[in-house]
Structure 1
Amino acid sequence: MADFGITRVGVVAHPRKPVRDSVDVLVSFAERHGVELVVRETDAAQVGAGVAVVSDEGFAAGVDAVVSLGGDGTMLGAMRLAVERPVPVLGVNYGNVGFLVEIAPAELAGAIERVHAGDFEVEPHSRTAASRWKRATRPRSRSTTSSSAGPSPARRWRSTCWSTGRSSGTTAVTP
């Protein structure tokens, strides 16, 4: 197949998993094909030397492909970075479950060669945009209440959880 035109590959790494072997595979690939590897400042320490460090904005605006080294959470983070300018995102499984990531670390060398050659299929994933209303005071922790009328075993639960952290998913249930 013809060269797909990849000249700059972004690397997103899990903050605690030992991904250096996969980074070495990517560095070797980049040297053979004249491809620039870049990493965001937040991932630079985990990835190590040999990969150019760029800002988040520079990362998202300038990559032709992204390699996610981690689990599903890392993959979702990588896809969020590329959402405004869709590029191929290849997931390498360093996690425990791996619903979204496609390959094992041992398969990375062959897989990145296929991506470079354009020999891949895009698996589209949808996203949901959500907004929330603001209250004058926000609870600082989870709160759960229950109510019961009489001796009936049925209970009604209301739970509220406010979070500012990252997550792999959100479940919303309505009556």
Structure 2
Amino acid sequence: MNLKFVGIHVRPDSPDAERKGIELAAWLQRQGIATGDLNAAEPSMDLLIVLGGDGTLLHAADLASRYGIPILGVHMGNLGFLTEITVDELYKTITMLLAGEYRLERRIMLSAAVVNGTTGAISEAVRALNEVLIVKDSASALIRLGCWANQEYITTYSADGLIIASPTGSTAYNLSAGGPLVHAEQKSLILTPVCPFMLSSRPVLLSSETLVTVHPLAPASQVGVIIDGELHWRMAEDDYLLVQQAARPLLIVSSPWKSYFKILRTKLHWGGDPVDLPLPDPVRRYC
């Protein structure tokens, strides 16, 4: 990777991350690589290094994907599904990038907007890496959400809410709500109801080419739209939420040392110890 100009995005409430960001900027400059201000993203950047946790990467993902800047996530937070590189691996990883030894993963982003069913007025689109959540404001009653795939009616969910997740977001709120794990590089959208009234209301996996439309049937005044953890809209009675794959994916530098399933085994504690179980050589030759 030809690195001439690199951005550094740090977790804002972490003095350790800020110190590491300043140290990293000095190291990059000694290698002849220019750096921008902390937590700034510019279209001309060749790489954006994120120091923090998954939340920090979510905040950086929108601008990085808009500009087509690859992200290198360095784990300095709590969970670390998205920030795959450890601090100890950081400089070795950058050296490998400079030598051309790297792999970029293309993660689909979501684009959400609200359109009024009477006037046709539409909001500015907002992008998400993990999920778009339609959720009730109060704890009293269920909400009823009509749902369409393109123009075809799917069903009406009676639930506390509905998650529209990307494959990357399948390990986030979607997983907590009983949704499926989907490989991060898969091209699909996941619909997962939150605490549905009917046990027959199950998650649905759709093509990433699908335009999902959701309309709160009742009571609309109690419905909010949360995008990657931030409240963006409260929906009126005649509003429709449109969610689809965004035009540009997010490019993430994958760890040379950890596969997707190794990360899952480690974070979710599958099978006890997160060790590899290799296939026998006579079987591997066919795989």
> Aligned pair in 2 of structure 1 residues 16, 158: CA closer, same or farther (>3 Å)?
closer
Among 27, 47, 60, the alignment partner of 1:65 is 47
Q: Unaligned regions of 5+ residues in structure 2, if any?
A: 118-135, 143-157, 162-221, 231-240, 242-287
Structure with bigger strand share is 2
Among 35, 40, 43, the alignment partner of 2:33 is 35
Q: d(CA) in 1 for partners of 2:109 and 2:86?
A: 25
SS at match of 2:141: strand
RMSD of aligned Cα (Å)? 3.2
The yes-or-no answer on 1:9 pairing with 2:2 is no
Give how far 1:166 is off.
5.7
Q: d(CA) in 2 for partners of 1:31 and 1:39?
A: 13
SS at match of 1:69: strand
Task: Answer whether contact 2:6 2:45 (CA < 8 A) is retained.
Answer: yes
Alignment of 1:25-104 (within 5 A): 25-39=23-37, 43=39, 59-104=41-86
- The sequence identity of aligned pairs, in percent, is 26
Q: d(CA) in 1 for partners of 2:141 and 2:90?
A: 50
Give how far 1:8 is off.
0.5
SS at match of 1:5: coil
Task: Answer whether contact 1:10 1:38 (CA < 8 A) is retained.
Answer: yes
Counterpart for residue 112 of structure 1: 94
Q: d(CA) in 2 for partners of 1:7 and 1:66?
A: 12
SS at match of 1:39: coil
Q: d(CA) in 2 for partners of 1:110 and 1:88?
A: 17
Q: d(CA) in 1 for partners of 2:47 and 2:76?
A: 19
> Aligned pair in 2 of structure 1 residues 33, 130: CA closer, same or farther (>3 Å)?
same
Q: d(CA) in 2 for partners of 1:65 and 1:6?
A: 7
SS at match of 1:98: coil
| TM-score, with structure 1 as normaliser | 0.65
Give how far 1:115 is off.
1.9
Q: d(CA) in 2 for partners of 1:67 and 1:128?
A: 22
SS at match of 1:19: helix
Task: Answer whether contact 1:12 1:68 (CA < 8 A) is retained.
Answer: yes
| TM-score, with structure 2 as normaliser | 0.42
Task: Answer whether contact 1:145 1:158 (CA < 8 A) is retained.
Answer: no
Q: d(CA) in 2 for partners of 1:80 and 1:24?
A: 23
SS at match of 1:124: strand
Task: Answer whether contact 2:43 2:69 (CA < 8 A) is retained.
Answer: no
Range with bigger deviation, 66-75 or 83-92 = 83-92
In the TM superposition, what whole-angstrom CA distance separates every residue of 1:53-97 from its partner, at most 9, and x where no partner exists?
xxx5xx331211000011111112222111123222100111111
SS at match of 2:73: strand
Give how far 1:117 is off.
2.4
Q: d(CA) in 2 for partners of 1:122 and 1:22?
A: 24
Give how far 1:106 is off.
1.6
Task: Answer whether contact 2:5 2:35 (CA < 8 A) is retained.
Answer: yes
Paired residues, number: 139
> Aligned pair in 2 of structure 1 residues 85, 165: CA closer, same or farther (>3 Å)?
closer
Structure with bigger helix share is 1
Counterpart for residue 224 of structure 2: 162
